[in-house]
Structure 1
Amino acid sequence: MFKAITFDFWQTLYADSLENWENRQSIRIDNCHGYLKKQGYSCNTEIIAKGMEEAYMVSNTCWHQHIGVSVETCMKKFAETLELSLDKTEIDSLIECLGNAFLESPPVMIPHVKTMLETFSKRCPLGIISDSALTPGRYTKQLMERDGILQHFTAFTYSDESEYTKPVVAQFETTLKQLNAKPEEAVHIGDIVRTDIVGAKNAGMKAIRFAGINKSETDDTLSDAVIDDYRQLESVIAELS
């Protein structure tokens, strides 16, 4: 049996859709517009949408360069696009607008995740390694607490709180240190080959690709196993241990 198991968040524990993302983005824009209007700033939803696009581009560019970036930095680009001089309190309030939009239009927990986590958390410590974009990691914790699964995790590594994104080995090493496990004693489960699988394998871990939601990863020769239903995980873990 492994001494630690780590998971990706997006499309691995929780499923997001384009429709849900678009709804969340609309709420983000409305929330930010309402806050800025309340603060006395004059700006329309079109320019706010443009600012949100620019903020996301900062995150996406850094993600492709494997660099962690805070949501605060992204929202400073948002303010720059709107030609607004915002102080830290105002930036923090805009970040809260983003987080509240996430909680209002959240991704959905994937079937059998809750039962699976209840089972495996009794056997070894569990961790999360997630790349964040415009949703601060702390808000995913709020969602998991609301859904009754947060207590199963003892380690969290989010790119908005660190210097890197996956597949940088440091993201995995940092998490394993929190879990008190060596790489060869651990397995990572995620949906993207370039980030989850490559990163875990480079760190010396076993890697399982979850293909239940993300169907685009067709070129995968690195994963130690592939599952599309968490009811398969018990036997796969046993085979890899």
Structure 2
Amino acid sequence: MAPSWSAPTLEPSSALDRPPTIQAHGFYFKMGNLKAITFDLWDTLVIDDSDESKRKQLGLRSKFDERRHLLWEALNTVNTIDPETVQLAYNVGDAAFNKVWKEHHITWPIKERLQIILKGLGRELPEDAFDAVVRAHEQMEVEIPPDAMPGAAPVLERLAKRYKLCIVSDAIVSPGTCLRRVLENHGLAKPFSGFAFSDEVGHSKPHRSMFDSASNQLGVNIDEMLHIGDRDHNDVKGPQQLGMKAILFTASRDVDKDSTTADAICDSFDELEAAIDQLDA
């Protein structure tokens, strides 16, 4: 099992043992092989579904139920339809999405998913009504956002002084444009020089094109990047097959912890910099 980092490592015993550094603008930059770090978003920078408790406190439906209600309400306004019929069609659409996502590494944008559901129902919506349903889906996690991962902001700011940073994340319902806003509203977007979201790239992790996008945006080779994320298949094995190193991040999701092939495991942002230093030594 990969090592788990819980405390900063000791300084090397002599100058001969210490990796070479250069000083610039008051900061020390270590001259290792690593030039860039890519981050997953969900359960790495932002805690997935942590917005559900906020919705409940506000007396709102869960996201799952609200999405189905939005489509039913729009359809029912045009022509009466049972909620159960819409729910069934939506569930079938979700199943099709998940199959394509898992087997072909493609995440249909929510607009396309809703079009598929409407086709299955044999129904249409006026353009303005359909666009309103799409926007409500896309904006849901912006209007009531999930929580940022504790400790992320200061660590990202420090890492950005040493490495180029890029988001590499699947976009399941909220598109990349809205996920950027979630990061901006949490003060987490500024350290990043690039963003590779699956709805914009055309494939999802672990497809190579996601990491190619990051590599091209940052101007580095793939093997000069390290990836950090919570899923062993997408965030560890995928990058490793491309010649990258990978850290499994388990602060809010640790399902893969006992079986991962990660080069390191971190349980919080407090452990991350020490682990990166070890891997870039």
- The residue aligned with 2:140 is 101
Asked if 2 retains the 8 angstrom alpha-carbon contact of 1:51 and 1:77, the reply is no
- The residue aligned with 2:22 is none
Q: Does 1:10 align with 2:42?
A: yes
Q: Name stretches of at least 5 consecutive residues in structure 1 with no aligned partner.
A: none
Once the two structures are superposed, residues 18-56 of structure 1 have per-residue CA deviations (whole angstroms, 9 ceiling, x without a partner) of: 882971222323333444455x24334333333332332
Find the residue that maps to 2:217 and give its secondary structure. helix
- The residue aligned with 1:51 is 89
- Which of 1 and 2 has greater Rg? 2
Distance 1:85 1:179, change over 3 A: same
Distance 1:29 1:177, change over 3 A: same
CA RMSD in angstroms comes to: 2.4
Please give the alpha-carbon distance, in whole angstroms, between the structure 2 residues aligned to 1:50 and 1:92.
22
Q: Name stretches of at least 5 consecutive residues in structure 2 with no aligned partner.
A: 1-31, 54-60
Asked if 2 retains the 8 angstrom alpha-carbon contact of 1:193 and 1:209, the reply is yes
Please give the alpha-carbon distance, in whole angstroms, between the structure 1 residues aligned to 2:202 and 2:67.
25
Please give the alpha-carbon distance, in whole angstroms, between the structure 2 residues aligned to 1:240 and 1:133.
31
Q: Does 1:194 align with 2:226?
A: no
Please give the alpha-carbon distance, in whole angstroms, between the structure 1 residues aligned to 2:267 and 2:111.
35
1:94-173 residue pairs with structure 2 within 5 A? 94-173=133-212
Instruction: Give the superposition deviation at 1:14.
Output: 1.0
Once the two structures are superposed, residues 65-113 of structure 1 have per-residue CA deviations (whole angstroms, 9 ceiling, x without a partner) of: 1331332321112212332124666544322121122224432111111
Find the residue that maps to 1:226 and give its secondary structure. strand
Find the residue that maps to 1:102 and give its secondary structure. helix
* Equivalent in 229, 241, 254 of residue 215 of structure 1: 254
Please give the alpha-carbon distance, in whole angstroms, between the structure 2 residues aligned to 1:236 and 1:165.
26
- How many residue pairs match? The answer is 240
Find the residue that maps to 2:44 and give its secondary structure. coil
Please give the alpha-carbon distance, in whole angstroms, between the structure 1 residues aligned to 2:134 and 2:92.
15
Q: Does 1:224 align with 2:256?
A: no
Find the residue that maps to 1:111 and give its secondary structure. coil
Find the residue that maps to 2:68 and give its secondary structure. helix
- The residue aligned with 2:244 is 205
Please give the alpha-carbon distance, in whole angstroms, between the structure 2 residues aligned to 1:71 and 1:56.
10
More helix by share: 1
Please give the alpha-carbon distance, in whole angstroms, between the structure 2 residues aligned to 1:88 and 1:193.
41
Please give the alpha-carbon distance, in whole angstroms, between the structure 2 residues aligned to 1:141 and 1:117.
15
Once the two structures are superposed, residues 201-233 of structure 1 have per-residue CA deviations (whole angstroms, 9 ceiling, x without a partner) of: 112111000011112114434211000110111
Identity %, equivalent residues:
28
Find the residue that maps to 2:246 and give its secondary structure. strand
Instruction: Give the superposition deviation at 1:170.
Output: 1.8
Please give the alpha-carbon distance, in whole angstroms, between the structure 2 residues aligned to 1:55 and 1:93.
19
The letter for the 2-side match of 1:128 is I
Distance 1:229 1:158, change over 3 A: same
Distance 1:161 1:48, change over 3 A: farther
Find the residue that maps to 2:104 and give its secondary structure. coil
The letter for the 1-side match of 2:52 is N
Please give the alpha-carbon distance, in whole angstroms, between the structure 2 residues aligned to 1:110 and 1:52.
31
Distance 1:226 1:29, change over 3 A: same
